[in-house]
A and B are shown apart, each in its own frame.
Chain A
Amino acid sequence: MSKISRRKLITTGLAVAAGASGIAVAAKAAQHYGLIPPDAGGLYGPGETLTYAAQRLLGRHSTAREFSRSEISKNPFANEVDPLGDEFKRLQTAGFVDWRVTVDGMAARPASFSLAEIRSFPASSQITMIGCEEGWTYIAEWAGVPLSYILDRVGALPQVRYVVYRSIQPDWWESIDMADALHPQTLLAHGMNGNELPVPFGGPVRMRVPRQLGYKNVKYITRLTLTDNLKPFGKGRGGANPDSGYAWYAGI
């Protein structure tokens, strides 16, 4: 066995100390610049934080790939959902005229919008890919009102850091940071491939976050809550999927 020299010991000690203090400083800075995801604690926190921080540093404003009309999938796959409840069926029978999306939390003018109002807001459309964490994908043209428009309309307070969004389906909710909430491609989508958004694909209104995986694109949206802290929601990990063991950030 080779002996460890004193010099080697001192250099290694100094390197470890420098590394440790470097990590401490980096953690402080990361917290300040919003690079720490709500699921940063625990066994997989380091990898998750690296992924989230790296992608936010690399391209906060980058846009998801858009495709040509000819690339739209002829057979898109509507992932299954839990059986729709009585409340949903009642609203569906009435043609969703009573469907409302409530916006509350840290807003100067909290509001509740009817589906007709949401459809009357300036719409944006995009031909983007939706991909599931399972591995499958399809491409569709999505139309809807940019979430940033809604935030602007209700007067989101400057300290808002996350938008929590909920489905009419029990225990189906997720949240995104402001980089995605204010992103021009993030839509409250109500149209697909030139038609109203079909129910199997999330109609009448679904969240569309094309820079993240399918599970962040919650269907049947009824409520948005603006907040600066995800701790009070569920188990504090920022979504129903994160609460059941999935990563909060799904850009990978």
Chain B
Amino acid sequence: MNASLPIADGGERQLSSPAKLDSAVPAAHRMRHSALVRVTHWITTVAFLALLVTGGEIVLSHPRFYWGETGNVNMRPWLNLHLPSSRDTVPTGYGFVLPDQNGWSRYLHFQAAWLAVGTGLFYVLFGVFSGHFQRNLFPAASDLSIRKLGGSLVRYLRFEWPGKEEAWSYNTLQRLTYLFVIFVLFPLMIWTGLAMSFGFTAEFPLAVRLLGGQQTARSLHFLVTILLVLFLLVHVLMVFVAGFRNRMRAMISGTMISGKMISGKMITGRATPPTE
């Protein structure tokens, strides 16, 4: 079946060079993300949003941050968020106290953390064995020159978005960003989170000592959260820029339609061979 391929939007289909197509994979509906990537992506999304909401809720019970081991309302914070608090022991300047939501917030925070950590371990293990990292995330050594990266960055800053042919593979900047989030920011979140647990640090005191103390761990947990939220915002923005429907399709069903997308309507044309 390569003469009559199903096309999602029923548009006019022209295959410019059918010879380039491999086997039975429809030119217009090609695999972009493996099931492993898609499933772990959405589980992580759910867990991350739960962690973000509950984490914010927990911060409201003491919206101040300190360095070192100790910190409380009798001490000077390095950061006071000046938000209303869910405790009347924190002087906020607001004339009201928010309702206490820490019970379920803490329950859900740790449950979502387990989900995220479990999914992350699964992803990393299978990513290594399936060659996902090798194929899709580790940049080629030749792409790591300052000139090339700088050029890529400048194009982003000039809002010259990557062309359609780049949709089938991550460019080097994307690869480095995803690697940074997966192998630096997520592990830092887990580490700084566990470093706040008295049960955990009783067994592994170095986990908190290396960071510089209980309150430093809490501050870093908050700062890395900000980096992750920035990543999330840019990530979602780029999905919109690159074509929301096609990218969502790629991360849900796994396939992406090759062709140009004009105001939400698919016009299939050139079948771009996957670059992976």
Contact = CB atoms under 8 A, between A and B. Distances in A.
Interface of A: 1, 43-44, 46-48, 50-51, 55, 58-59, 62-65, 67, 71, 73, 75-77, 79-80, 129, 131-139, 210-213, 241, 244-247, 251-252
A73 B70 contact: yes
A62 to B, nearest CB: 4
Interface of B: 58-59, 61-62, 69-75, 87-89, 102-104, 106-108, 110-115, 196-203, 205, 208-209, 214-215, 218, 253
A79 B69 contact: no
A1 B59 CA distance: 44
A77 B202 contact: no
A211 B74 CA distance: 23
B73 A136 contact: yes
Contacts of B72: 73, 75-77, 136-138
Contacts of A252: 110, 196-200
B110 A62 contact: no
Contact of A44 (B58, B108, B203, B253): B108
Given A59-B203, A133-B102, A79 B198 contact: no
Given A131-B214, A134-B61, A137-B214, A211 B106 contact: no
Contact of A58 (B71, B113, B203): B203
Nearest to A209: B198
A71 B115 CA distance: 37
B62 A135 contact: yes
B59 A135 contact: yes
B107 A47 contact: yes
A63 B205 CA distance: 9
Given A62-B202, A76-B74, 18 more contacts: A47-B114, A48-B107, A59-B203, A76-B72, A129-B198, A131-B198, A135-B62, A135-B218, A137-B72, A139-B69, A212-B198, A212-B199, A245-B103, A246-B106, A247-B107, A247-B110, A252-B110, A252-B199
B216 to A, nearest CB: 11
A59 B112 CA distance: 23
Nearest to A59: B203
Given A44-B111, A48-B110, A211 B199 contact: yes
B189 to A, nearest CB: 14
A57 to B, nearest CB: 10
A86 to B, nearest CB: 24
Nearest to A73: B70
B114 A51 contact: yes
A1 B103 CA distance: 43
A50 B61 contact: no
A65 B208 contact: yes
Nearest to B63: A135
12 contacts: A47-B111, A55-B203, A71-B70, A75-B74, A129-B198, A131-B198, A135-B71, A137-B215, A211-B202, A247-B110, A251-B200, A252-B200
User: Which of A77, A131, A135, A252 is most buried by chain B, counting CB atoms within 10 A of its CB?
Assistant: A135
Contacts of B59: 135
Contact of A65 (B73, B110, B202, B218): B202
A136 to B, nearest CB: 4
User: Which of A50, A55, A131 is most buried by chain B, counting CB atoms within 10 A of its CB?
Assistant: A131
Contacts of B69: 67, 71, 129, 137, 139
Contacts of A139: 69-70
A133 B109 CA distance: 12
Nearest to A56: B199
B106 A133 contact: yes
A88 to B, nearest CB: 20
A22 to B, nearest CB: 14
Contacts of A245: 103-104, 107
Contacts of A210: 198
A137 B67 CA distance: 11
A54 B150 CA distance: 46
A189 B205 CA distance: 24
A44 B202 contact: no
A51 B89 CA distance: 29
A43 B215 CA distance: 30
Nearest to A128: B198
A6 B55 CA distance: 43
A23 B88 CA distance: 43
Given A44-B111, A59-B203, A135-B58, A246 B198 contact: no
A2 to B, nearest CB: 8
